[in-house]
Structure 1
Amino acid sequence: MARQKALVIRDRLANGEDPRGDKPAPKITTKPKTFYDCMEALLESKAEGWRNSKHKHQWEMTLRDYAKPLHDMPIADIALGDVKECLLPHWHERPETADRLRMRIRAVIDYGIAHEWRKAGNPALWRGLLDKVMPARKRRDKEHHAALNHEQAAQTVAKLRQSSGTAARAVEFLALTVGRAGEVRGARFDEIDIEAKTWTVPGNRMKAGLQHVVPLTDRALQIVEARRQQSTCALIFEGGREDAPVSDTAMTKALRLASPDKAATLHGWRSTFRDWAGDETEHPREIIESALAHSVGNETERAYRRLDALQKRRKLMEDWDAYCAGAN
C-alpha cells in the first residue's frame, strides 16, 4: 500500500500536480476586448434608446463601415495616431461624416473605459488631443451659416463670460436659448416671465410668424436680470444708440473674438445645438426641433404635443446649458 501511494505521489510530482491530490487551479487567460467587441456592446446597450430606426442605422453604419481600421485592435491599445488615421480619409471631403465618426469612436472607447477594459484616457477627445494633430480644414467658399463643432461650445461660452460687453451677453443668451439673431436682438423685458422662467417671442419676430415660448435656464435669467440693471430702455440688449438694439455686426464680432473658429456665425449656434442634441443625447427629435421653433407633424399632432412639450424642452435646454458650462 505504501509503495503504491509513493508511486502515485511521484507521478503527481512529475505532472506538476500537488502531491496531496489537489490539482493546481488552471491559469485563466482573458482575451483582450477589441474595439469591435466594445462597439457591439455599446450598440446593444443603446438598443432601447434609439430615437428611431434611422438614428440606429446611422450609428451602426458609421462604426461598422468607417471605423473598420480599429475593429480588430484591442481597446486598451488604441492610440491618438490610430484615431487620426481613421479620420483622415474623410476629414476634408466629408467633414460632417468625420465629425460624427470621431464622436462615435469616442463613445465606444468611453464604454471600454467605463467597463475597465482600458486604463488609459480617450484618444478620440477633440480638445487638447485631436485638435493638436488633425490638419486644418479648407474653408468652403459657399459655406452657409458656419457652425462651431459642439465640443467648442463650452470653450466659447467661457470666453464670452469673460467679457462684460452687451454684445457678448446677447451672444451668450442666443447660445443658451438657440434663438435667431433677430429674435434675441429685439428681446424686451416685458417678454420675460420670471416666475414661469419663460421668454415669449411674439410672432412678428419669428420666422414662421407664430408666437414661440422659450424655457429659460437659471443662467439665461441671470443675464436678463443683469441687463435690467444696465439697460435704459425696454430692450434687454440695448445698443449704442438710444432705443436701438445691439447690432448684428457687434454680436458677430463678439462671437468670433470668443470662438476658436473665426468664421463662426450667430445662426450657426442652432446647428451646433442640433448636432449636440442629436448625437450626444437621447432627447426625442420632435422636442429638439420644437426647441428650434421648427414645426413637426400636422396641426393636430402639434396641438397635442404642446400640452407637455414645454417641460420636455426645459429639460433639454437645462442639459444644453450644463454642456455649455463645461459639465459634459
Structure 2
Amino acid sequence: MARALHKLSDVAVKAVKASGRHSDGGCLYLWVSPSGSKSWLFMWARDGKRREMGLGAYPTVSLAKARARAADCRSAVEEGRDPIAEKAKEAEPTFGECADKYITTIKSEWRNAKHEYQWNQTLTSFCESIRPKRVSTITTEDVLEVLAPIWQAKAETASRLRGRIERVLEFAKVKGWRSGENPAAWRGNLRNLLPKRQRLQRGPQPAMPYAEIPAFTARLRKAEAMAARALEFTILTVARSGETLGATWPEIDFKGKLWNVPKERMKAGAPHTVPLSVEALAILKALHEQRQEGQQFIFTRDSENPLSNMAMMMLLRRMKQTEITVHGFRSGFRDWCGDATSFPREVAEAALAHKVGDETERAYRRSDALEKRRKLMQAWADYLKASKASNVVKLRG
C-alpha cells in the first residue's frame, strides 16, 4: 500500500490535461482519458494481481470526496475485504448520483466527448427537481414534471431526455435499487399522458440556395461570437456540426494545411482528412493565438467544453434564418459543385466524406483525391468571397 498521500491539489486536478493516470498516493489515481474526461480510480494488488475500481467522474466527485472513498477502500483491503464486492452492495443513490454512475459506466461506448457532455448537461439542467430524490422513489409524476415544460417547445431535446431518464432508471433496476415498471417508459405509459405533437422531421435538411451563401457568409464574418466562427468554419470545410464542435487542436496540421478528423468522430467510422483553404486556416490561426493554455477544443466558450450542439442553430435563428439548418450548407455546397464547377462527382462526394465506389477503388484514389479536394475547397472559399455570386461561372476541376 502506498504511503505518500495527497500528492495532487484541487488546482492541479482541474488543470491537468495529459491523458493517463495521475497518482494522489494511497492507491488513488486521477484517470484522464484521451478525450479529456476525468475520473477517479482506486488500484491495489491482491494475490499478485492488480485490481482497480472506479470511484466516480470528476468534477462530480471532487478531490476531497475521492480521497474519502479511497480511505474507505484502503481500510477494506487492509482488513482483507473486497472493495469491489462491497461496492456492489452499496446504498441506494439519488437519481442524480445514479445518472452520474450510469454515464461513467457507458461513456466508453461513445465516439467523442460531445456525447458525455450532452448527457451530463440534459440530466443536470432539466432534472434539477428529481436529482436529489432517491432513485427508487422516482414516479411517473416526477418524470412528467421534468418533460412537460419542454415537450412542445423543445421537442427533440425532450425526446432524447425521456430516453436518457428511462435508461438511467433501467440501470437502477438492474443494480437492485428499483423494482416495478419504468416511469419514463413511452409505450403504455407516457404516451397516454403527454400531448401529441408533430412528428420529428427526418430526411433532407432544409438548405440555403448556394447563390445566397456568399452574402450570408459576408454577414457571418462581421459577427464576433464563437458560434459565428464555428459556423463559418463549418461552411468552409463542409463538415458536419458534430465534427466541428468536437474539433481539437491536435487534429490540425498547420504545416500541411490539413484537418485530420479521427474515425471515432466520423459518421462513417473512417478517418477523414480535410484540406484547409486559406480562409479556413485564417480562422484557426486567429483562434490559436487566443487559446488558453491546455485548451483542447477549438470552438469553446470556457476553454474546457465544446460549444453546445445548438450554438450554431441558435445563431441562425438570431440572424433570422429560420427555414434552414446547419447541415443544409453541405447540400448547398454539393449543388454548387454540380451546377457551377467541373470538379468530378467523386471529388465532391469525397469532400463531404461520402463513400464512393468499393474499398479497393477508394484506396487507389485516396492520395490523388486529396490534392483535387484541396483545389475544390479553395475554389469554394473563393466563391464564398464573391461579391456577385449570382453570376455563376463554370470553374474547371
TM-score range, shorter chain: 0.5 to 0.7
Query: Would the aligned equivalents of 1:231 and 1:238 in 2 still touch at CA under 8 Å?
Result: no
Match of 1:316 among 372, 376, 386: 376
CA apart distance, 1:150: 0.4
2:249 is matched with: 189
User: What's the TM-score, normalizing by structure 2?
Assistant: 0.45
Instruction: Name the CA distance, whole Å, in 2 between partners of 1:158 and 1:254.
Output: 15
The aligned counterpart of 1:234 is 296
Letter in 1 for 2:206: A
Q: Are 1:265 and 2:330 counterparts? A: no
Quick one: percent identity of the two aligned structures? 47
1:213 is matched with: 273
Say whether the 8 Å CA contact 2:210–2:335 is kept in structure 1: yes
Runs of 4 or more above 6 Å deviation = none
Q: State the shift of 1:226 in Å.
A: 1.1
Q: How does 1:61-100 map to 2 (within 5 A)?
A: none
Deviation for aligned residue 1:254: 1.8
Cα deviation, 1:50-99, whole Å, max 9, x if unaligned, reads xxxxxxxxxxxxxxxxxxxxxxxxxxxxxxxxxxxxxxxxxxxxxxxxxx
The separation in 1 between residues aligned to 2:288 and 2:367, in whole angstroms, is 31
The Cα of 1:308 is off from its aligned counterpart by 0.4
Matches within 5 A, 1:1-328: 142=201, 144-232=204-292, 233-239=295-301, 241-258=302-319, 261-326=321-386, 328=389
Q: Report 1 or 2 for greater relative contact order, CA contacts < 8 Å, sequence distance ≥ 6.
A: 1
Q: SS state of the match for residue 229, structure 1?
A: helix
Residue in 2 that maps onto 1:89: none
C-alpha distance after superposition, 1:160-215 (max 9, x if no partner): 10011100000000000000000000111111111110000011110011100000
Structure having the larger proportion of residues in strand: 2
CA displacement 1:9-58 (0-9 Å, x = unmatched): xxxxxxxxxxxxxxxxxxxxxxxxxxxxxxxxxxxxxxxxxxxxxxxxxx
Q: How big is the shift at 1:242?
A: 4.7
Greater share of helix residues, 1 or 2? 1
- Normalised TM-score (structure 1): 0.54
- Residues 171 and 255, structure 1, Cα contact 8 Å, conserved in 2: no
Q: Which ranges of structure 1 fall in alignment gaps of 5 or more residues?
A: 1-140
Q: For the residues of structure 2 that align with 1:196 and 1:262, how far apart are their CA atoms?
A: 37
Letter in 1 for 2:296: A
Instruction: Name the SS for the 2:219 alignment partner.
Output: helix
Q: Deviations over 1:253-293 (max 9, x none)?
A: 223444x6422111111101001111111100000000000
Following superposition, the deviation at residue 142 of structure 1 comes to 4.6
Larger-Rg structure? 1
- 1:256–1:264 Cα contact (<8 Å) kept: no
What per-residue deviation string (whole Å, max 9, x for no partner) do you get for residues 85-130 of structure 1? xxxxxxxxxxxxxxxxxxxxxxxxxxxxxxxxxxxxxxxxxxxxxx
| Inter-partner Cα distance in structure 1 for 2:321 and 2:211 | 12
Specify the SS of the correspondent of 1:326.
coil
Cα separation, 2, equivalents of 1:255 and 1:319: 25
Question: What is the distance in 2 between the residues matched to 1:257 and 1:198?
Answer: 31
Cα separation, 1, equivalents of 2:201 and 2:244: 26
SS at match of 1:248: coil
RMSD: 1.8
